[in-house]
A and B are shown apart, each in its own frame.
Chain A
Amino acid sequence: MLITRRAEFSASHICAVPGFSPEENFAIYGDEASPNGHGHNYVLEVVLDGTPDPRTGMIIDLKNVKEILEEEVVKPFDHRHLNHEVDAFKTVVPTPENIAIYIWDRLKPHFEGTNAKLALVRLRETDDLYVEYDGTLI
């Protein structure tokens, strides 16, 4: 059975490869490369896969999932500038693809050895764009 927990954060970012000229970055990322940054209301959906515990009837206590998302994603990202305030994105471009991968990597250890396996993260950058990642890059 799959269960999905949603979390939201608002953050700013710039999509630009360090060392590339502003023109080169604009050619690649368009307005997402705007040099002073811009923001999105990101929506994160975390999908967990497991079998309900016969006694509690739960795959995992969603309260715990909420706390994990709060610690690993919302606190470090919400109302922050990702390039300037999240160390990983000082060198890695904070595209939605890379943000989804980074979130996956932060969340994964929390579910190891538990009844709930991390199955997918879905990161919505706008209503018109989302990225899904399940731990494999192919």
Chain B
Amino acid sequence: MIRLTRRYLFAASHRLHIPSLSQKENMDLFGKCANPYGHGHNFAVEVSVKGPLDPKLGRVVDLAALDHLVDAAIIQPMNRRDLNKDIPEFAKELVPTTENLMAVMMDRLKSVWPNNFPHLDRVRIYETRKNTFEIQNI
């Protein structure tokens, strides 16, 4: 296995709440994450792609192309945004937990992933330094 991992940073706010529940019920469920005006994190996303290695160029992926793709699909749209209000996937029922954010990011990445790109092997999201979410062997 030869695998390259690239890290991307973005900052965003979110509020965990289910619109059909009362504020008290939401607080019982999500604690301080349901505070009415939301809160923010410095998120980091690691995108890992697996070989083969191009022996002549000595690389597994066109890094500029990968950066452009990830930036356009998930970083630019989410950086300095409110996930609940600014990201269409979270506009209705879907709670913007980082688990659900992972699902949204995976959908977005898969829908633009070129056929000639190396295999997307792992996505890992750091919500804070204490909370990490990842999907491997995608």
Contacts and interface: CB of A to CB of B under 8 A. Distances in A.
A4 interface: no
B6 A128 contact: yes
B81 interface: no
A98 interface: yes
B57 A28 contact: yes
Contacts of B53: 97, 101, 137
Nearest to A104: B2
- Per DSSP, chain B at the interface is mixed
Contacts of B57: 17, 28, 93, 95
Interface residues of B, number: 20
Interface string A110-138: 00000000000000000111111110111
A124 to B, nearest CB: 9
B51 A132 contact: no
A133 B48 CA distance: 13
A26 to B, nearest CB: 10
Interface stretch (B58-66, B94-102, B128-136): B58-66
Interface in A29-77: 29-30
B4 interface: yes
Contacts of B21: none
A132 B59 CA distance: 12
A95 B6 contact: no
A97 B52 contact: no
B80 interface: no
A134 to B, nearest CB: 5
Contacts of B60: 97, 131
Interface in B37-86: 50-53, 56-60, 62-64
Contacts of B124: none
Given A15-B58, A98-B58, A131-B5, 5 more contacts: A17-B57, A95-B59, A101-B53, A131-B60, A132-B1
23 contacts: A17-B56, A28-B62, A30-B63, A30-B64, A93-B57, A93-B58, A94-B58, A95-B57, A95-B59, A97-B59, A100-B2, A101-B2, A128-B7, A128-B8, A129-B4, A130-B4, A131-B5, A133-B2, A136-B1, A136-B2, A137-B53, A138-B1, A138-B51
